[in-house]
Amino acid sequence: MRIEELTPKAVEIRRGIIEAVYSGQSGHPGGSLSVADILTVLYFHEMNINEKAPKWEDRDRLVLSKGHCSPALYSCLANRGFFPVEDLKTFRNIDSYLQGHPDMKKIPGVDMTTGSLGQGLSAAVGMAIAGKMDNKDYRVYCVLGDGEIEEGQVWEAAMSAKKYKLDNLCVVVDNNNLQIDGTIEEVMSPYPIDEKFRSFGFEIIKIDGHNMQEIIDAFDVAKNIKEKPVCIIAKTIKGKGVSFMENQVGWHGKAPNEEQYKQAMQELLV
């Protein structure tokens, strides 16, 4: 997909996020909206995937470690054709396969079951090591929340990524600066994020996580880094695209009411 097509596609993805969370009257819109542009670039421009063959052996892999932001992932998968867009309205319904957190056994296109924060990078490292061992060319992408990197397991996995020279691994930190209890500085500051990942042996790229060209360029640069993993630190806005949700920690895990839903969908017209 060309860059001029990605921005309206990201708006479409955001509409899917709001539709899902409103329909389920449960979910996490804030972080889903902040990561929407990054996932749009990955699923519609960057990753080598085939919606008609979700388990294709040579596909690129994505691990959404911040699994509570499943509405963003589901909206991308649905719009890419892995399952019907209409199914987003069943989100978190007791009879739906679209659970609150991604399930690789039930949802086409989901590469890793996630939701328990801090574990996704370990799985992504394992996938990247497997790719090296099998002489495969696929790449592995892992999306982390900035609050999530307060988890110690993230850094154990980061050490392994450097040790095994995983240049087929690209980590993206969605740095929206808010987690469920407040700003990440207030809760348990992981700053400076760039210096921490650099000290663990990663190549660092810093971008505006809502600038399509910067996102595309970062992934292009990452593919050409050899002998070590890459960490893209994307500065984002929680709730991006919906005025009353932007930078509001209260929208970390709350569904809009009918009036808020209508306003959000009106603001997200392509």
Whole-structure pTM over 0.85, yes or no?
yes
* pLDDT, mean over the chain: 98
Q: Is 225 exposed, middle or buried (0-12, 13-18, 19+ CB in 10 A)?
A: middle
If one looks up domain 3-267 in CATH, what number appears?
3.40.50.970
pLDDT tens for 133-150 read 999 999 999 999 999 999
Report domain extents, the chain.
3-267
pLDDT of res. 270? 64
3-state secondary structure 204-250: EEEEECCCHHHHHHHHHHHHCCCCCCEEEEEECCCCCCCCCCCCCHH
| Nearest partner of 139 among 49, 214, 72, judged by Cα | 49
Distance of CA 31 to the CA centre of its chain: 9
At residue 1 the predicted structure's pLDDT band, cuts being 50, 70 and 90, is: confident
CA distance 180 to 118: 15
Per-residue pLDDT, averaged over 97-108, amounts to: 98
% of residues, the chain, pLDDT over 90: 99
